[in-house]
Structure 1
Amino acid sequence: MTTFVDRVELHVAAGNGGHGCASVHREKFKPLGGPDGGNGGRGGDVILVVDQSITTLLDYHHKPHRSATNGKPGEGGNRSGKDGQDLILPVPDGTVIQDKAGNVLADLVGHGTSYVAAQGGRGGLGNAALASARRKAPGFALLGEPGGFHDIVMELKTVADVALVGYPSAGKSSLISVLSAAKPKIADYPFTTLVPNLGVVTAGSTVYTIADVPGLIPGASQGKGLGLEFLRHVERCSVLVHVLDTATLESERDPLSDLDMIEEELKQYGGLGNRPRLVVLNKIDVPDGKDLAEMVRPELEARGYRVFEVSAVAHMGLKELSFAIAEMVAASRAAKPKEEATRIVIRPKAVDDTGFTVTLEEDGLFRVRGEKPERWVRQTDFNNDEAVGYLADRLNRLGVEAALMKAGARGGDGVAIGPEDNAVVFDWEPSVTAGAEMLGRRGEDHRFEAPRPATTRRRDKQAERDEATQEFEGFEPF
């Protein structure tokens, strides 16, 4: 049964925003007390958070579909809907978030680091929030926005200071078991290690983590064996330790050729050329192994490697190796730049940025793209004429109609707002003013207006009588 998963495709869906409420306050002797519809609640986010107690993506392998809760709709009496609850998904330290095209979205390193994988939809405004001096009694409310939906790929790259690399059965698992308290599976056949093992080593005042990476074979960087699946766990390690088998029973292998092969695979994988390295000649407790180690050591040192002869079984040479690795880890940590304080980067919009674009497509359709127009369309109830008029007002004030005319649109041309797979398409009719502004008093209720003074009413009636008298005096009989 699978117990370790380091790559998984996850489908996350944020919560939808709740719809706003269109309501009018009513009570005895006050049948029209004004709009009192509440706003809809915000949809919950899907948030990935690093938890160091999590070491595998196994849970998401079995349950790849995750969704947050929706916001509640608003209610009458100015009662807003409840916000949806955020969904917190714990992930291992060192998880890389990518889209399906392979673009990196986030690199989560460090306990508590978080990333919003899907944003919850905004709640729609109720008619109480939409009321204004010109629109005293809106008969509509805005719809809640749908939550974001994304397909993401999560890859785990082990966070360790040292990586043990080498052929299968070179003794990497035995070495990590004696250097640390880790207890990996150890057996006398290849590919015993199927998952990376982590151990913590203390050498003097330096404490570092060491990873046992599954064995590499020729072609690992192209997908042969287990190499391609686990080479990613070497990327974050600051020191590489080549573990070479000096007592192999395969006649075509020797420590030098093994080293050359592993280096070639690391080179093909890329990004590891600047990591400090040292070489461990393992299994010197075997007589032939000791002799072979003494033969190849001068050649390895001539190549610039620090070489250590050890025996994981007999516990020979381990102390010197542990302190040498600690020295290299300390030097690597000292060479890293110090982390700077968190900075807030402000990128103001250009003064000529309208917030939307109008493009003419090959089929003659004018497409409007922009955050505000697309959001306003999603929040509009197209079964309500007043809501459609309100949308027309907003688009006109934003400058969409002027931009369409500038782009060459004429009456009757098709206009689409939104992406190709989810757009609102309509035949455009230009006007001087649009929607509710063209009607002048859309959404107003005359019963809310204060009555005119009696003197004003008498003055208006007298003006009507005078106008009728003038018409009568100018009448000439046949």
Structure 2
Amino acid sequence: MARFIDRVVLHTQAGNGGHGCASVHREKFKPLGGPDGGNGGRGGSVILVVDPNVHTLLDFHFRPHAKASNGKSGMGSNRNGAEGEDLILHVPEGTVVLDKNGELLADMVGAGTELVIARGGRGGLGNAALVSRARRAPGFALLGEDGEQAEVVLELKSVADVGLVGFPSAGKSSLISVLSAAKPKIADYPFTTLRPNLGVVEAGDVTYTIADVPGLIPGASEGKGLGLDFLRHIERCAVLAHVVDCATMDPGRDPISDIDALEAELEAYTPSLEGDASLGDLRDRPRIVVLNKADVPEAAELAEFVQSELEERGWPVHIVSAVARTGLRELSFALARIVAEYRAAHPRATERRQIIRPVQSAEDSFTVTPDPSEPGGFIVRGAKPERWIKQTQFDNDEAVGFLADRLNKLGVEDELLRLGAQPGASVTVGDVTFDFDPQTPAGADVVPTGRGTDARLEQTERVGAKERKLASRIRRGLEENESELEQ
């Protein structure tokens, strides 16, 4: 049995960037070959693309987790790692992308429209790319960045010219089955239609699409019944057709009250879409009234009785019978005329040239705030510092020294000193915590040492946190053996 899924939660994971390579060129008779480590490859991104051949979100219902491939690590001989392959996810036209908080991210309209959901991590630089005047042969490389993770909600809003609205069992499915080649499920119980049905109608030289959506009951705009499913799929319909059951035996129901109830729900519901793809509020769409089931004598009499009252509201009224197939030709041409008028008044926007406007990057900005969980400590936040932390190999002293130079050049140490940071204070950047030591000459010319080492981190004249704590205990009389301090 075919299933129609129009709302799914998608969990995406972009690929991680490959690590850079720390390598030195080795060749006979070339003792100073120099660094030749290649860069890591970029991780693959997760991208949504509108595909006209896809009509449902069923694939994401059964496979809600999507992960792109990772980039490959760099290699010696200046060989860069391969980039991860982007994961392309095909979605139907009319898909709306929301974040986990319900905020609109994108309205996917138009074949080929793309949206990057999760961006792949950048690859780490190899030591060949880290060569500078001070570091002629870096003994380290940068690690690749992790790919982005994103959890989004995909909602499908049908794209049709005419939307059939009405109470359950009003005959909407029967009507679309005789106006077009669509074959929806038809039964004699409410809420037979659990998914939208689309049909194509040709009337003269006008071809238009018609949508039969789940039935409406009072309170639908608040989520009762299948109301939200119903209202979501008529947001994009240019024309709304009220299909009224004139043969209903339910007490308290008649064509006028049914239409009033429909109008109240349409007015209470505000489409979530904004911008060029939105057609405005539902209350502003053109209307047409279809009085159905005129093959029943009592229904035909009731339809003729209320026809003049409905026409006074300025709406075209058609009395039809989907079973007897009467009045359908006039209805199809009337809908074609309204659709043609709407298309003439709202021409499809032509494709515009893409304009790229440079935006000032905020990556260089950072903040330093007191650490609430550590007295005297500080927390550094910023795109660059946190990214540099993830790229650093902390088991390599030379890489740590390179990180210190970068933070110093950015101004992190100056800001810490301005805020009164004391030597030995804990400084947290990302998920790593350091002991603040302003005596380390960060930013100074690096003294050449062995590969993977940094002489600045091997200085012994500075007093460590353990020694300072012991000296404090001695001053307070808590320790009597001063020789421990000398050790």
TM-score (norm 2): 0.85
1:200-239 CA distances to partner (integer Å, 9 max, x unpaired)? 1122222211110111112222222222223211111111
Q: Please point out which of 383, 388, 394 is paired with 2:395.
A: 383
- Which residue of structure 1 aligns with residue 444 of structure 2? 438
Q: Secondary structure at the match of 1:284?
A: coil
- Which residue of structure 2 aligns with residue 273 of structure 1? 283
Structure 2 vs 1, CA of residues 324 and 78 (structure 1 numbering), >3 Å: closer, same or farther? same
Q: Secondary structure at the match of 1:133?
A: coil
- Measured after TM superposition, the shift of residue 313 of structure 1 is 1.7
1:143-189 CA distances to partner (integer Å, 9 max, x unpaired)? 01011111111111111111101011111111111111111111222
- Which residue of structure 2 aligns with residue 428 of structure 1? 436
- Measured after TM superposition, the shift of residue 342 of structure 1 is 3.4
Q: What amino acid maps onto 2:265 in structure 1? A: E
Contact 2:363 2:382 (8 Å CA) reproduced: no
- Measured after TM superposition, the shift of residue 354 of structure 1 is 4.1
Structure 2 vs 1, CA of residues 442 and 295 (structure 1 numbering), >3 Å: closer, same or farther? farther
The size of the alignment, in residue pairs, is 438
Contact 1:137 1:443 (8 Å CA) reproduced: no
Q: Secondary structure at the match of 1:253?
A: coil
Structure 2 vs 1, CA of residues 204 and 406 (structure 1 numbering), >3 Å: closer, same or farther? farther
Structure 1 distance, partners of 2:397, 2:87, is 37
Judge which range, 300-309 or 29-38, deviates more: 29-38
Unaligned runs of 5+ in 1: 446-478
Structure 1 distance, partners of 2:128, 2:318, is 77
CA RMSD of aligned residues (A): 2.1
- Which residue of structure 1 aligns with residue 37 of structure 2? 37
Structure 2 vs 1, CA of residues 255 and 19 (structure 1 numbering), >3 Å: closer, same or farther? same
Matches within 5 A, 1:138-217: 138-217=138-217
Contact 2:173 2:184 (8 Å CA) reproduced: yes
Q: Does 1:416 align with 2:428?
A: yes
- Which residue of structure 2 aligns with residue 293 of structure 1? 303
Structure 1 distance, partners of 2:63, 2:371, is 41
Q: Does 1:357 align with 2:367?
A: yes
- Measured after TM superposition, the shift of residue 62 of structure 1 is 0.8
- Measured after TM superposition, the shift of residue 196 of structure 1 is 0.2
Judge which range, 147-156 or 295-304, deviates more: 295-304
Judge which range, 136-145 or 423-432, deviates more: 423-432
- Measured after TM superposition, the shift of residue 382 of structure 1 is 1.0
Contact 1:68 1:86 (8 Å CA) reproduced: yes
- Measured after TM superposition, the shift of residue 132 of structure 1 is 2.1
Q: Secondary structure at the match of 1:116?
A: strand
Q: Secondary structure at the match of 1:426?
A: strand
Structure 2 distance, partners of 1:42, 1:121, is 6
Structure 2 distance, partners of 1:339, 1:433, is 60
Contact 1:138 1:443 (8 Å CA) reproduced: no
Contact 1:282 1:311 (8 Å CA) reproduced: yes
Structure 1 distance, partners of 2:32, 2:104, is 55
Q: Secondary structure at the match of 1:273?
A: helix
Q: What amino acid maps onto 2:283 in structure 1? A: G
TM-score (norm 1): 0.87
Structure with larger Rg: 1
- Measured after TM superposition, the shift of residue 358 of structure 1 is 2.8
Contact 2:39 2:75 (8 Å CA) reproduced: yes
- Which residue of structure 2 aligns with residue 470 of structure 1? none
Identity %: 64
- Measured after TM superposition, the shift of residue 262 of structure 1 is 1.5
- Measured after TM superposition, the shift of residue 275 of structure 1 is 1.3
- Measured after TM superposition, the shift of residue 317 of structure 1 is 1.6
Structure 2 distance, partners of 1:80, 1:24, is 15
Contact 2:200 2:207 (8 Å CA) reproduced: yes
- Measured after TM superposition, the shift of residue 251 of structure 1 is 3.1
